[in-house]
Amino acid sequence: VRAALAKKQFEIVTGEWVRCTVADVRTVLTELRTGRPLSGTHYETFAMRREQAAAVEKTLAYYGSIWSEDNGAVPRFLWNAKMRFGKTFATYQLAKQLGARRVLVVTFKPAVEDAWQTDLESHADFSGWRFMSRNSGSDPTKVSSKTPIVYFGSFQDLLGRDLFGNIKPRNEWLHTVNWDLVVFDEYHFGAWRDTAKELFEGEEAAVAKKEAGLEYGDVLAELNEELAVLSEKEAEFLPITTRAYLYLSGTPFRALATGEFIEEQIFNWTYTDEQRAKQDFAARHPGEWNPYGALPQMRLLTYQMPDELLAIASGGEFDEFDLNEFFAAAGTGNAAQFKHKDDVQKWLDIIRGQYAPKSVEHLKIGSRPPYPYSDVRLLPYLQHSFWFLPSVASCHAMANLLAEKHNAFWHDYKVVVAAGAAAGIGLDALPPVRKAIGSGFETKTITLSCGKLTTGVTVPQWSSILMLRNLKSPETYFQAAFRVQSPWAIKNPNGDDPNEEEILKPVCFVFDFAPTRALRQFCEYAIGLSPHEPNPETAVKDLVSFLPVLAYDGANMTQIDAGGILDIAMAGTSATLLARKGGRARLVTLDNEPLR
């Protein structure tokens, strides 16, 4: 290893010591193991997973079929893939198999640049490739045509125009290159602006603008409405030439619903596909390391609030619990206070099973419902939780209420307020959370947010999210919910088996206190994922088989099937009535699997 490093001109400091990085050593080890020279720090050698290979294969086949009919045609293909699919690596493999030399990656989220750069510069398959962007400081036009280049930029920067409608001078070269592949990353087909707006609407106006700008580029508001149908009109405002387009998105509901792409132009990899792959792999290869094993199954638990709390804040078509009104607050910092402070205190007592009027009822019935902070099976998944509140004031008010003397139970939890300008913009809000959590084993935390840290961050220890605000779109709802679905596992825990993996988070939970609204989001999400399925119940059934839904109606906790979920979503029917219909819902007893 030392000789190989010396051969690469690394400085021999003295004796056996060589000045280099860990990545340099890993690259040399890969060279020695594979017998081929590598440039830079390309030490990774993992192969594509089955679904990544399937995406590349289907895309190549579609491009080929279009080119066979018309060699000058410019085909378009969509990857509808949830996070952790590995789209950057799979995209590069597609580009390599296309024989591409010039690849343009255009994103709506500039913050993802690091992921695109790391995948290209760390894998042995892309040795000799160059990653360039506005930040790289070098001129792409001076690079040999034989060297494959990936140029990365935000849509707003690369394709924006000046006040007179002219292409920005620094980007004129883009329009002279004949690109082999143009990739649109994080394209949500018009929905991305609405999602950004809704996610951060609880923040102060100036902070919300900065957060959305950081998340989706600085000139979000200036983009024309025509972007909502970008895929219809690329040529009109993209004066660049390319052989093919690839769209990458996690929630392209609009494109799917409006038929912008036909079935042959789409590769799907959804939460359901991921969980099915996990189940199938375990069945086919018992005892082997499962590449999907660490991806937790999600469970949705909804709770009907007592009548006295519903009376405080109800409204809308189904006269349902209004979370924004219930958790409304005013003031800042230590002075922040809930508008309905006494009732929020009752809610805090309810979620830990200590609300006196309900306790008497439970004694009469002979069973206690599985409230989040009272049920022994749920508590391990609430060691580190994310509470999604309506506003900055409500985040501060919640922190103040949890800290009050009489709330001794909550004093065991370190409460982090990730809201407001003081918490930092974008990823700056993350370090305090990571510091509070530490390794995650000896600590207990509650992160309070009204938009921050709901996109683009991974906190493995978060195992549950409490939805304490109204959200209109299923995209926004599940974008926030999937924050808690990131894997938490330790590879080779005993140091003697690199294939062993200790999974610390096999499941994760979404707790919602407005059942009708939550189940309506669930239905819309399930139907949105299966636009070609004519029967809504079949679409919901597919999702609910891997995302169990349990509903508490004030008396019983019931697990609901697809028909029951649709009934509640469409008519606002309570879980009790569903149970009385006979057979649609079943009582969840203490040893039922969904709570384990």
pTM of the full structure: 0.81
Neighbours of 7 (CB within 10 A): 11
Q: Where in the chain are all domains bearing CATH 3.40.50.300?
A: 50-269
* Helices 392-403 and 341-351, packing angle to 10 deg: 70
Residue 333 tokens, joined: 């910092």
Q: Which of 340, 187, 159, 183 is nearest to 250 (CA)?
A: 187
Q: How far apart are CA 192 and CA 230, in angstroms?
A: 13
Q: Which of 338, 161, 346, 334 is nearest to 238 (CA)?
A: 161
Residue type, 227: L
Cα(547)–Cα(378) distance, integer angstroms: 16
Contact between residue 249 and residue 78 where contact means Cβ atoms under 8 Å apart: yes
User: pLDDT tens, position by position, for the chain (596 residues)?
Assistant: 888 888 878 888 887 898 888 888 988 888 888 777 777 677 777 889 999 999 999 999 999 999 999 999 999 999 988 878 889 999 999 999 999 999 999 887 666 777 788 889 888 888 889 999 887 777 888 888 899 999 998 776 666 555 555 666 666 777 788 999 999 887 654 444 556 566 666 666 776 666 666 555 544 444 433 344 344 444 444 567 899 999 998 765 656 666 778 889 999 898 999 999 999 999 999 988 898 999 999 999 999 888 888 888 876 555 678 899 999 999 989 999 999 999 999 999 999 988 766 655 655 555 677 899 998 999 999 999 999 999 999 999 999 999 999 999 999 999 999 998 888 877 788 899 999 999 999 999 999 999 888 876 789 999 999 999 998 888 888 888 988 999 999 888 888 887 788 999 999 999 999 988 899 999 988 988 777 788 989 999 999 999 999 988 877 788 988 888 888 887 764 444 444 444 333 334 434 556 55
**Cross-strand pairs, 267:** 79
**CB within 8 Å of 486: residues ≥ 6 apart:** 84, 458, 459, 460, 462
Residues 292 and 546 sit within 8 Å (Cβ to Cβ): no
Two tokens, residue 514: 């407005």
CATH of 50-269, one of 3.40.50.300, 1.10.1040.10, 2.60.40.10, 3.40.30.10: 3.40.50.300
